[in-house]
Amino acid sequence: MFDVSKIRAQFPILSREINRHPLVYLDNASTTQKPQSVIDAMNDFYTTHNANIHRGIYTLSEEATEMYEGSRHAVAEWIGARSEEIVFTKNATEAINLFVQSWGDTHVGPGDEVLVTELEHHANLVPWQELCRRKSAHLKVVPIREDGTISCKDVEVFLTPRVKVLAITGMSNVLGTITPLKEIIASAHRNGTVVIVDGAQLLAHTAVSVVSLDCDALVFSFHKLFGPTGVGVLYAKKEILAAMPPVVYGGDMIEVVEQYRAHYREAPWRFEAGTPNISGVAGVIPAIEFIKKISRDGSHEYCSSLSAYARAALESIDGVKIFGPLDASLSGPIISFSFAGIHPHDIATIFDAEGIAVRSGAHCAHPLMRKLGVLATTRISLQCYNTREEIDRVCSALEKARVLLAK
């Protein structure tokens, strides 16, 4: 049974006060808060197991290596992949850049096309722009519909034989839009197009199996999944990773080094040069365990219902305009809105004085903002520890903003 008070009790930061008000944390799409189990695991690593991995022939190093490789295994199992298909990176951004610089640079050539959508975060846009510039390839963009959605048919219009790769988000960090990935991936594959999915938001709200999705690659960041900052993942199918050259060179990614050339280890280790974020990876297993437990208890249903409550509450306020899908079933618990001509930064400032943390700005999605015809929005993004009372506090704070600032 889903019990929000029991969930909240696991997050020490939620008992904080901000500006003499109990904290209301609604910037979960940016990063989630961390449960005690994740904090403890990282502390425990430094307190009792700290050593470098893969190198030492001594107990501490072996323990650290076991934890690190065990975490890789847990990530693989969680998304239905094989351990050797999981590359640890710094974050989702680095994972996309790795894929672009390795797979992209070897597979995309002059005149080829790279397909993205209008929903993409800069992390899944700018690396592709740069690739196209380097390779004299063309970047094509699938537009969103009026309601902020994208259908498979919209993508199919762009699927010409020249499209080598489709890079698509599973859930928009601005509108919450959920894309029909399975259908789109099947269609892209019929066209011979490789698909990389930006799962940065999707995995926080949906169980994902790479086998069932059949995506060729998937990226995400653990800091958006109750885990530590500094740990991201690139999943790619074994045969794809095997054909990808390394892009960062140095220690730990080599098999043998001669004076004038080197032989590299197999994937995934050849993509993990240097000392990785070992203590961060120590937080991965407790983060996955936490997600599995809350999912079993009904967190996805809880967040959907909370999101529907928040949408209805915001919509009932005069002057609020919500961007994105009207049909709540087409979006995750991420809500962007404008209010009464007040700048989102002013709203966020007034909210902060009430102890409420929300994101205001362009959300690393400038082209999407332009499409929506705004410079910025206010965004609330929900997680399993948020409550209806917190949404009510947002609504009261908006009324305060109206009194103070509306023209």
**Footprint of ligand PLP on this chain (CB under 6 A)?**
29-30, 91-93, 121, 123-124, 169, 173, 198, 200-201, 221
Closer residue to ligand PLP in complex, CB, 49/121: 121
Closer residue to ligand PLP in complex, CB, 201/331: 201
Q: Which residue has the tokens 């992390």?
A: 123
Shortest distance, position 58 Cβ to ligand PLP, whole Å: 34
Q: In a 3-state reduction of DSSP, which class is residue 334?
A: strand
- Specify whether the CB–CB gap between 366 and 129 falls below 8 A: no
Shortest distance, position 364 Cβ to ligand PLP, whole Å: 6
Q: What are phi and psi of 13, to 5 degrees?
A: -65, -25
Both tokens of residue 34? 């961390």
Shortest distance, position 118 Cβ to ligand PLP, whole Å: 13
Closer residue to ligand PLP in complex, CB, 61/229: 229
270: which DSSP letter? G
Closer residue to ligand PLP in complex, CB, 175/342: 175
Closer residue to ligand PLP in complex, CB, 95/398: 95
Residue 318 C-beta-side C-alpha neighbours within 13 Å: 5
Tell me which of 132, 215, 303, 364 is the catalytic residue: 364
Closer residue to ligand PLP in complex, CB, 240/368: 368
Shortest distance, position 210 Cβ to ligand PLP, whole Å: 17
Q: Which is nearest to 359 in space by CA: 29, 21, 17?
A: 29
Q: Residues near 48 by Cβ (< 8 Å), separated by ≥ 6?
A: none
The length of the chain is 407
Closer residue to ligand PLP in complex, CB, 323/342: 323
152 is catalytic: no
* Strand locations in 61-102 (E): 86-89
With 0-12 / 13-18 / 19 or more C-beta atoms within 10 angstroms meaning exposed / middle / buried, residue 281 is: buried
Shortest distance, position 322 Cβ to ligand PLP, whole Å: 18
Rounded Cα distance between 36 and 387, Å, is 20
Q: Which residue has the tokens 């305009």?
A: 321
Shortest distance, position 262 Cβ to ligand PLP, whole Å: 29
Q: What are phi and psi of 285, to 5 degrees?
A: -65, -45
With 0-12 / 13-18 / 19 or more C-beta atoms within 10 angstroms meaning exposed / middle / buried, residue 228 is: buried
Q: Which is nearest to 336 in space by CA: 124, 172, 116?
A: 172
Rounded Cα distance between 216 and 209, Å, is 12
Both tokens of residue 404? 């103070």
Q: What are phi and psi of 113, to 5 degrees?
A: -120, 145
Shortest distance, position 245 Cβ to ligand PLP, whole Å: 22
Q: Which residues are catalytic?
A: 364
